[in-house]
Amino acid sequence: MAVNPSSVPSVGGGRLMRVSPRGAGNGWKAALFMLPSWILLLVFFFVPIVLTFYFAFTNLSLTGTSSSAVTFVGFRNFASMFSDPTFRVSILRTITFLVFSAIIGQQVLGLLLAILMNERNRVFRSVVGVLVLAGWVTPEIVVAFIFYAFFSDQGTLNTVLGWLHQKPVAWLYTFPMTAVVVANIWHGTAFSMLVYQAALGDVPKEILESAEIDGAGRLQRLARVTLPIIKGSIATNVVLITLQTLGLFTLIYSLTGGGPGNKTETLPIYMYQQAFADYQLGYGTAISLILLVIGILASLLYMRMLKIDL
Amino acid sequence: MKKTRVVWSVVSTLALSGVVLAGCGTSGSGGGNKDNASANGNGNSGQQTITVAYQQFGKPPYYNAEWLEKAAKQFEKQHPGANVKLEPIQASENDFYTKIDLMMKSASTAPDVVTEDTFLINADGSAGYLQSLNGYVSHWSDWSKFSSAMKSGSTSNDGTVYGVPFSTDTRGLYYNVKIFKEAGLPVPWQPKNWNDILAAAKAIKAKVPGVVPLWIQVGKATGEATTMQTFEMLLYGTGDTLYDAKTNKWIVKSPGFLDSLKFIHDVYSQNLGPSLSQILNAQAGNTESQELMPQQKIGIALDGNWLPGNWLKSGPSPWPDGTKAYQLTAMPTQHGQAPGYTSMSGGWALSIAKKSSHKDLAWEFIKVATNKQNMEWYDVHQGNLSPREDIAADPKYQNAPGQFFKVATSFEKFTHFRPANSQYPSVSTQIQTAVESVATGSATPQAAMQQYANNVARIVGQSHTESK
């Protein structure tokens, strides 16, 4: 060991001792190589997060006196948020949107598709798979345009209704929430489907077969065997799509702009309105913190419900 | 233990949404690639480039772009070595305001010259975005040619001049002669109070199917148009106002406020207005002036004097007979109380960004752009009233074809200006929220006013509000 004469002693300890100085050197080298990414993370991730917390407690605005002379206002932003009925309505709309489009829509539809595809031949799988995936790979803004073309006054849906001699409906104004929910299900189902396809592949055939031999029907096999086995995937999937849906902005904003009135104003839209349309950056930042809290609570709730550790 | 990891991943994922906001708080994004080299060239030698940011939206022609290009050419000829870079911002009005504010927050994105809506100018001035022009205008002989009312529109309460106004406007009622005759209504028409307007709209609805009886902007998407063309045209005809300049307080509840919302409720709940899908989007103004009015599908429209500019030969929707088919008349007060009519005036100004590094050159450019000849070209083409008195007195301007300059100028007798308060832009968006919620039926006028009062109290502070 010409490199390091001090590290000779006994075999077992020697290896450790020999490794540690070299390890220390590696540590420094590793740190050096990681430094750029740490700096990037610090500048673009950590600092903005800290600033987010700070601005949430100020009256920072985009224009006017409180833009140049920012003052600390304590919990005022949060206090007025909770006394603001628009905010409460907005939370309610966020939860409605989340439950119907993500948890019920994408989740259940994705699982259903995965199960159906699991038992079919390759042609069927690839055709359906491509169709569903098309929705997923389409950028949100394009999805919004597609659904605008579908739901608008002279859109596809009303044209088809016209052929059936039905009166046209102003879908985006009469059923705005339904419209954005449908659009988001179309856009996001593929993700759940992919997760469940992978999970179903891991369910051991033997267990399913023995359940079948024991006389379990299709539904029983699904409920008693398959679902418990893929519980972990369900939890991961629910958490992921919940977070995605909670933060969804582009689709709703470009489809309805949060309107009509505030009928589709979910929290991200409300946050944007307050920060960039109403010039109240501090208040908008405070709303983003609430969004964060909702995300954490929802995730903990899922894990408690599924009795699972991720 | 694993739960903590999940919590942290959730925290970091969602915090990203906040990051976007926080990032804008400090430096600001948006804007184009600004030529940084030019910002360094502070000396007198070499090329110097000034950027001019302005809004460009909807169908061409863009008269403001043509006007600024003209001025830029003249300016470059007069100032060898200086370049003007025009920076059009493709955005609706609300987005434009947000974008220029974000641009002016940082020296690397701030334009040198910017077009400012006078309603925002005080707010942007007190935010520290705009350069005081007092030192410049005091040595400018043309400044005395501007009407004093318009000068006050771009001057803050403490006397700081933040911009040189280049256009102003008034608002009134357009009515379609053909539709009125079919509905058995008198032509020329001069309503004496709000009821006359509603009665005419009802008559049109009953007798002329397939047309929108009364078009008034009520969407949040149409931004300041909803506040000014609709709500303030109503409110300032009730005797109540938005802001008490004596006590420096916002009047958040008043009988006039409630009656104005009730009028909007009456129009939309009785289907006297356009469908919500027509009115609640940023294109509503273009749908109105460039599509429905040329098709003679709107009975009455409450809008600004610039509207016929859309119908000029060079306009986005040429219609030579437009100013015969539609006539402009004054908006009456609520019950016809003195002075009988009402109007609102706003306008635009050229300002210099505080973070500009070529302020003197920028000022030279503004002088060229707002000289009599250039401004007259712009105001006549765009259909704006001119803030310069020497232009207003010019017969060529007064009798410009395809415009209602004479009638519209007569509204200046009873017109109102918006509160010159730096909080106005934030309050204005609350008005839009109230108006849209009443028009869509998601709130009663009473509830919408209460909501407005709460929101304004949050923004300006409870102690700066009062009820009447």
d(C-alpha A43, C-alpha A37), whole Å: 10
Which is more confident, B412 or B241?
B241
Domains of chain A (ranges, CATH numbers): 83-306 (1.10.3720.10)
Q: How close does chain A come to B191, measured CA to CA in Å?
A: 30
Mean pLDDT of the region B72-91: 94
Q: How close does chain A come to B46, measured CA to CA in Å?
A: 34
- pLDDT at position B39: 40
The domain B171-345+420-467: what is its CATH number? 3.40.190.10
Q: Which positions in chain A touch B441 (Cβ < 8 Å)? A: 261
Chain B residue at shortest CA distance from A76:
B458
Chain A residue at shortest CA distance from B24:
A281
Beta-strand pair B341-345/B171-176: unpaired
What is the interface size between A and B, counted as CB pairs within 8 Å? Answer: 185
Q: How close does chain A come to B242, measured CA to CA in Å?
A: 17
Which is more confident, B435 or A310?
B435
Which of B10, B436, B451 is the mutation pick for testing A, counting most A CBs within 10 A? B10
B339-358 pLDDT, tens digit per residue, is 999 999 988 999 999 999 99
Give yes or no for B6 touching A (CB within 8 A). yes
Which of B17, B25, B433 lies at the smallest CB-CB distance from A247? B17
- pLDDT at position B14: 52
This complex has an ipTM of 0.73
- The CATH superfamily of B47-169+346-417 is Periplasmic binding protein-like II (3.40.190.10)
- pLDDT at position A8: 41
Contact A86 B451 (CB under 8 A): yes
The vertex-A50 CA angle with A46 and A56, nearest 5°, equals 145
Is the separation of the CB atoms in B164 and B370 below 8 Å?
yes
Give yes or no for B94 touching A (CB within 8 A). yes
Is the separation of the CB atoms in B267 and B216 below 8 Å?
yes
Give yes or no for B315 touching A (CB within 8 A). no
d(C-alpha A2, C-alpha A5), whole Å: 6
State which amino acid sits at residue B126. Answer: S
Which of A63, A250, A264, A300 is the mutation pick for testing B, counting most B CBs within 10 A? A63
Contact B7 A295 (CB under 8 A): no
B135-181 pLDDT, tens digit per residue, is 999 999 999 999 887 888 888 878 899 999 999 999 999 999 999 99
Other beta carbons within 10 Å of B295: 10
Which is more confident, B246 or A131?
A131
Contact B6 A299 (CB under 8 A): yes
Q: Considering only A91-95, B182-186, B213-217, B404-408, which range has the smallest mean pLDDT?
A: B404-408
Give yes or no for B448 touching A (CB within 8 A). no
Contact A262 B2 (CB under 8 A): no
Contact B21 A280 (CB under 8 A): no
Helix (H) / strand (E) containing B428: helix B424-439
Is the separation of the CB atoms in A220 and A211 below 8 Å?
yes
CATH 3.40.190.10 range(s) for chain B read: 47-169+346-417, 171-345+420-467
- Mean model confidence pLDDT for chain B: 88
Q: How close does chain B come to A249, measured CA to CA in Å?
A: 10
- pLDDT at position A96: 94
Which of A55, A152, A295 lies at the smallest CB-CB distance from B14? A295
Q: What is the DSSP string of A145-168?
A: HHHHHHHSTTSHHHHHHHHTTPPP
Mean pLDDT by 10 residues, chain A (310 residues): 42 45 70 91 89 90 81 88 86 94 92 85 84 90 93 90 89 91 93 91 89 87 89 89 91 87 89 87 92 89 74
Contact B276 A173 (CB under 8 A): yes
Long-range Cβ pairs for the range A132-139 (8 Å, 24+): A132/A189, A132/A190, A132/A193, A133/A190, A135/A186, A135/A187, A135/A188, A135/A189, A135/A190, A136/A187, A136/A188, A136/A189, A136/A190, A136/A191, A138/A187
Chain A residue at shortest CA distance from B94:
A277
Is the separation of the CB atoms in B72 and B362 below 8 Å?
no
Chain B residue at shortest CA distance from A304:
B3
